[in-house]
């Protein structure tokens, strides 16, 4: 139900990307457990190391707005998140579902499929997050 709206929000966010060097514009949208959608886009810097990815911006926007449980994340254009973004996503929900549209079909992939055998919070023996 929310997947189409998520993909549309990611597409719209992609239009705002700042990627003058790589030309790799990207948008992301994240859904929280209350049904709210937060979006983000790539913001690229000339030195690349300061670049923030669309997935990170969308998640940070959700957290800054008070979202407690993030459940799904859509990407546009259709592609898998990089390793840094996978780790970033997993920090906020090891059971995130990634949504994308390919060949006109909405597809999903789980964090376990994207990032198996990952180092996470549980390896630090800390109490669970919210």
pLDDT at 2: 81
Tens of pLDDT, residues 28-43: 999 999 999 999 999 9
Tens of pLDDT, residues 57-71: 999 999 999 999 999
pTM of the model: 0.89
Catalytic residue (choose from 8, 44, 55, 95): 55
Q: What is the DSSP string of 54-110?
A: HHHHHHHHHHHTT---EEEEEEESS-PPPHHHHHHHHHH-TT-EEEEEETTEEEEEE
Are 25 and 17 in contact, with CB atoms under 8 Å apart?
Answer: yes
Strand 70-76 relative to strand 27-32: parallel, antiparallel, unpaired? antiparallel
Q: What angle do CA 74, 78, 84 make, to 5 degrees?
A: 70
Could you confirm whether 55 is annotated as catalytic? yes
Which helix H or strand E contains 19, and what residues bound it?
Answer: none
Query: Above 60 in pLDDT, residue 130?
Result: no
All domains in the chain, ordered by first residue: 3-124 (3.40.140.10)
């Amino acid at each position: 139900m929310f997947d189409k709206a998520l993909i549309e929000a990611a597409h719209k966010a992609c239009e705002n990307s700042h990627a003058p060097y790589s030309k790799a514009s990207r948008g992301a949208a994240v859904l929280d457990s209350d049904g709210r959608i937060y979006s983000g886009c790539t913001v690229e810097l000339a030195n690349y190391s300061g670049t923030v990815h669309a997935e990170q911006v969308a998640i940070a926007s959700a957290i800054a707005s008070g979202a407690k449980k993030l459940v799904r994340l859509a990407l546009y254009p259709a592609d898998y998140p990089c390793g840094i973004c996978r780790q970033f996503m997993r920090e906020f929900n090891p059971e995130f579902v990634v949504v994308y549209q390919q060949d006109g079909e909405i597809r999903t992939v789980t964090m376990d499929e994207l990032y198996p055998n990952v180092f996470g919070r549980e390896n630090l023996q800390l109490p669970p997050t919210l």
